[in-house]
Structure 1
């Protein structure tokens, strides 16, 4: 295994990063063995605040919502980022690039920035203006640059470049979760449910917005796939992901169709518990980024 890079990349749990083995299988890990450090967000339940990836899973969230429980979420505290940055200092890092969920959706970027001001090393914070694997791919590509020995400015630019290339679209069974959580305006929610249509939502400039209305769920899923295929056709080196909450079979079907039409296998994973609390059970999402011509050839290493 290679030495730890001087620049380390940090992200948050809404990046929805799957197991490294899954990334190797679809060809997006490319020998990387020092992936991003993930700082978890929190889900606030009826029996206390839980740490994503530690004591609550996407499946738990889907089950709680299905039983009628209302969930809220919270960003990591500044102290959590401070501990993460100090741990990287102890491991030999000389600077950090911290890449996070859109600031229009969460205060996570602000928490990271405040911790960066107190850190014992330089910290560059990148607002991805996105979420899920749009954020995850950006963090992975930044980590690849860091592993190749690039400086923090280069690593931060690469994270922003990949995040800016992203397209992310999703379907939900109910808009109520997004509306209650303040992630979708009431007028947009009302428009989305008008006349019994199925709304296709997207991340537009970091915010959730209505992209299109379709008559049936089947047509909406088909349009979701078409949007991803169209964006992938514009990319020189596309990477794709399919996310779901409680709908693994549907996600695998979408991924198989995308693989056939695009020629690249998507990553398939549940949305994070925090994102799941806002989109609800039955959600289905597709993400496309352009990895472009920016390549660092890394010697194969072990899983990060």
Structure 2
């Protein structure tokens, strides 16, 4: 029986991806103006970014235990292998909730072929891991093979990104108030990356003109052969700059495949409008 791939909405994949590769998705929740929305389903990222530009502060919460229990139970009953690739456990409690529900469901269905993996990835970096797993599933690969590839791919997925305003990361508890204040004051643009699933500041660049050039230098330092891999770019409602970065990457590295998506509502609620993120596999892959 074909392996089913499950992802959550923090993968920032489009509905086209989910449909084309037959991926199942569960949503994180976005709280905005006293209403709850399902990320990727009942709210658009644009609505979140516009609200943030107006000074509103959306909040997010993880996928509910009931959602995981319902999905896991249905696959346990049909005995279809299910592989849930989760958003980084360092950025959300979603993975831990999934593990708890996996154990609960396996009390009733001890042989249920349910597998849960913490990718330690986010946004399209996470989405690229999910897409490759879904392609392998469609090709009839075993759950063991898919899981092994996904773990290796996730461990070697680089996340290099910048935000337009550090204030949003401060509100989300990602940087200190001092760092946010000083960065905004001096027009410093931070470059951050993900290390063991956590957001870690990498460098500070004065002014935005040098930013993309430096991101490409980091890409060259850390990456291997880019021609045959899919590069990911996600953006906080700034398609023009995302496409500018993509063009620079094509010109410099001869890359053929670049996936550009908007940073979804759940991650965007913390990163804010103007975020630009770059994802690629490093030399160790």
Indicate how the Cα distance of structure 1 residues 285 and 18 shifts in structure 2: closer, same or farther if over 3 A, else same.
same
- Following the alignment from structure 1 to structure 2, what is the Cα–Cα distance between the partners of residues 191 and 127? 34
> TM-score, normalised to structure 2's length?
0.88
> TM-score, normalised to structure 1's length?
0.83
Partner of 1:178: 169
Question: Does 2:89 correspond to 1:99?
Answer: no
Partner of 1:15: 11
- Following the alignment from structure 2 to structure 1, what is the Cα–Cα distance between the partners of residues 283 and 9? 21
Partner of 1:46: 33
- Following the alignment from structure 1 to structure 2, what is the Cα–Cα distance between the partners of residues 237 and 93? 36
* Superimposed CA distance per residue, residues 19-78 of structure 1 (whole angstroms, 9 cap, x where no aligned partner): 54xx7xxxxx9xx95443111111111131110122111101111101111111000111
Partner of 2:23: 36
Question: Does 2:141 correspond to 1:150?
Answer: yes
Q: Secondary structure at the match of 1:288?
A: strand
Question: Does 2:258 correspond to 1:272?
Answer: no
Answer yes or no: is the 8 Å Cα contact 1:14–1:132 preserved in 2. Answer: yes
Partner of 1:259: 250
Question: Does 2:76 correspond to 1:80?
Answer: no
Partner of 1:243: 234
Identify unmatched segments of 5+ residues in structure 2: none
* Root mean square deviation of aligned Cα: 2.6
- Following the alignment from structure 1 to structure 2, what is the Cα–Cα distance between the partners of residues 43 and 147? 31
Q: Which moved more, 1:197-206 or 1:187-196?
A: 187-196
- Following the alignment from structure 1 to structure 2, what is the Cα–Cα distance between the partners of residues 217 and 271? 20
Shift of 1:105: 0.5
* Superimposed CA distance per residue, residues 212-266 of structure 1 (whole angstroms, 9 cap, x where no aligned partner): 1111111112212332344343568432111111211111111111122222231
Answer yes or no: is the 8 Å Cα contact 1:236–1:291 preserved in 2. Answer: no
Counting matched residue pairs gives 279
Match of 1:207 among 198, 201, 206: 198
Answer yes or no: is the 8 Å Cα contact 1:232–1:238 preserved in 2. Answer: no
- Following the alignment from structure 2 to structure 1, what is the Cα–Cα distance between the partners of residues 228 and 282? 5
Q: Secondary structure at the match of 1:214?
A: strand
